Structure 1
């Protein structure tokens, strides 16, 4: 084994596939609230959704989870799925949409490198909606390593993006 191996910089996460209890309820969240498009369905058991026509960014299925309760919070498993928005204005627009729908947020943070909104899908899966600041604006320590933090997100400032 080569101990100096590094994964290629162009590597990316292709998609997430979630086990859900109720496919239609999950589609109401991911499609109707967040705006993903359905690219394919397997009857009432699975759906594949994407942004911009990609084959799928998220798969939803009930193959082993139909009508089951959410996984316990204090157990192993996926902490959250992170969805990157291209601009700060896009993040402001989805925040506004979530607020108008009265869907509950679980948090809103400024991490220095990004600004993020947090919520849970109907099955209790964590979802992070965020945008990355330009890399040259990321906070760093004297040695050049990242200096991320978690501060409250300035929602009023975020919403001013919609007017710009």
Structure 2
């Protein structure tokens, strides 16, 4: 039987390597709208609800900034806001800071794209109701990239006050450049247990748990066979997969061991590296308090 993750699996916080903590904290609080939860030394934890870490920033001395689309690794991480009004308020705040923004209506969602001071890609998006998502004749979720109704988002948020990202904001998905799409699929689908939801030829695929449009995007837009982002470059340290129970964690851990991969335990969580040298942090729901 094929490996399939429990349908209630979701994503937790992400950790980024950055070059200047004060600069990045200022960007993520003032521009993105997160709040400081705690800071210890060169590590800051940011939150939307004041309780749970959404983003961890680690300042590493001597980091370089990797040129875009030259390596496997982070393409963007995606912050999911609860509704269109919240996304409209995000647009208003980005405009007030004169931030260049890309955008795309993906049918299942409306999304904004930008980069942080270290060129880490960010998406901020709002989902459309799941019962409006359409599937094609192969059963794959239909997604595209059309212009966003920016005027509509501004209208729905008119008169509301920006107070940062609201409670209920979560990490919706992560998206990676990879050097080999099938190798990445083997890791994320055959070993971890995510399921394919859509693919675009041999260039990109989207995978998820529980029928979500995607928790992870994988693409070879940087080129087939590109090297991994080096650890001395800014980028993603890890992202978190939140499993519903210890039993599910054991099942996933057994698949990881059976695949000959190393599963490391530290700080109350388990870590395994994907083919792009990004660590996947595995926790259970009750322990997802960071």
> Helix, strand or coil for the counterpart of 2:36?
strand
Q: Which residue of the other structure, out of 49, 53, 61, is the alignment partner of 2:50?
A: 53
Q: Which runs of 5 or more structure 1 residues have no equivalent in the other structure?
A: none
* Over 3 Å off, 4+ runs: none
Note if 1:127 corresponds to 2:122: yes
Matches within 5 A, 1:25-44: 25-43=23-41
Matches within 5 A, 1:11-90: 11-43=9-41, 45-62=42-59, 65-73=60-68, 74-90=70-86
Q: Which runs of 5 or more structure 2 residues have no equivalent in the other structure?
A: 160-290
Note if 1:116 corresponds to 2:111: yes
Any conservation in 2 of the 1:50–1:57 contact (CA below 8 Å)? yes
Separation in 2 of the partners of 1:163 and 1:95? 11
Note if 1:104 corresponds to 2:100: yes
Q: Which residue of the other structure, out of 129, 132, 137, is the alignment partner of 1:137?
A: 132
> Helix, strand or coil for the counterpart of 1:78?
strand
More RCO (CA 8 Å, sep 6+): 2
Shift of 1:84: 0.1
Q: Which has the higher strand share?
A: 2
Q: Which residue of the other structure, out of 85, 91, 98, is the alignment partner of 1:95?
A: 91
Separation in 2 of the partners of 1:156 and 1:78? 30
Give the structure 2 partner of residue 7 of structure 1.
Answer: 5
The RMSD of aligned alpha carbons is 1.5
Number of residue-to-residue matches in the alignment? 158
